[in-house]
Chain A
Amino acid sequence: MTTKHKLVLVLIVLFTVISLQALPQQARQSQERIRGDLTQRIADRVISPRADTETGEIRLYAEDHILVKFRPLLTTQHVQAMARAYGSHASQKIPIVDLYRIQVPEGSTVAEMVHAWNQNYYVEYAKPDYIARVAVTPNDLFFRDQYALSNTGQTVPGSPGGTPSADISATTAWEETTGVSDIVIAVIDTGVDLTHPDLKNKMYSSGKDFVNGDDDATDDFWHGTAVAGIAAAESNNGIGIAGVAWNCMVLPVKCMDQNGEGSYSDVIEGILWATDNGAHVINLSLGGPFDDPDLEEAVRYAFQNGVVVVASSGNESGEVLYPAAYDNYVLAVASTDMDDKQAPESNFGPEIDVAAPGEAVLTTVPVWSVPSNYYPYSWTWGTSFAAPHVSGMAALILSAKPWMEVADVMNVIRYTADDVNTDEYPGRDDYLGYGRINLDTCLVPIPIKK
């Protein structure tokens, strides 16, 4: 190496040392200048929808730190010195990507800090540390009100706010499957509004009307539309609500009239027809107090032909209604609320298999049933609206594992439930059965650690 080269090298080293010594002072000046005339150029672009956990809005980024990438050759000591000048401190560098987490000082905001650091000569870029989520959150307008699917403690009618996580853990389960269109849920009820914006694309067919004797199972009450929406409303479509089984189809079978009543014989016919016409799951949010061998025979027929039958237990705070009480062939569903407590009206007995949210459940109602300037959605109460959560769950299981036998699907639903009343009734009990259903445990692989 020549003397000239050595001289140049010494000068470069000296310049580097002097400039790095000056870093904290430059940073401090930069901070002072920025505090004086903070422009929101970057902040406006990336951080405008500020999170507010109290109102249940989704948090978009970490609020206690930002991420900063510095120009090469700066050591951690230099970064710490600069951070101190901002009244902050830096964490260890994240390797490979060479990012530092810089604490947001008290009294400052993420937006201010991002802007301030982006003015710094030694910074390549500064940005918020965005929040990632493992769960699938649909973009449906009213999803935030669906505590049954994802309970954040949000306000629902009749309650100042439920218990966070007192839900069926749908969002994490949707990571595993949102259902397939090959799986069909028959809704044996008052029919379904075939024109509803959240249901019209989900109809397997126009169904069957056993009340009026035709092939148009249009809902002239409201109940069936509400049940269908919970089980399988079109989801992630930016409107309305999310269903449990996003992609599964609905087969409307009208066996109940405009007053919400129907004969056992129509129900029997409906079950047999649905079994023979493509149903994989039958939802029966209906029931009567009388045992009928023919009704039992109908659900047995469905069971033996590979159809999962789900029925509501009833809302009389009494014995479980039929067909829910046909224990060998039907999953009997009780109702819970936003705090995982048993709904007071929910029927009980040894036939109860599981429970699901049924109190203040937001769901679809027929378009014709609301004024034209209203959204066709409403809050509903009762075991009728607990059962379709279980039907949707059965459809998701069959979507992921179409080879499963009906009895196994029923057992999976039972055994993966959360025993939410274990303090009062440990283990299976007559009130909530095995517990409130849990889609996460049921569908997401359970870690087995050695």
Chain B
Amino acid sequence: MTKLECKQIFAMLSEYLDRELPADLCDTIDAHIASCPPCVEFVKSLEKTVAYCRGAGATAEGPRPLDAGRLEELRTAYLRSVPTVSIKNTPAAS
């Protein structure tokens, strides 16, 4: 396993994980990784990093709820912006 191969693959790993690479490149990387334990270990650490980032928004503590005054301010802005709101709860036109 040459270091050069690892380095070339290193540059494409996000596209590899996001399945954005053409099939032939994907196969090349799969073939390399199958016989290169350091690359396997590295890909796993990158994959875990991405999984952590995806969880960063969902699991963090949320904002305090909007107070009643703020919510009314938003509702008023909405009602002013979209005048047809008087026909509320009409099923969407298909």
Q: Do A and B come from one complex?
A: no
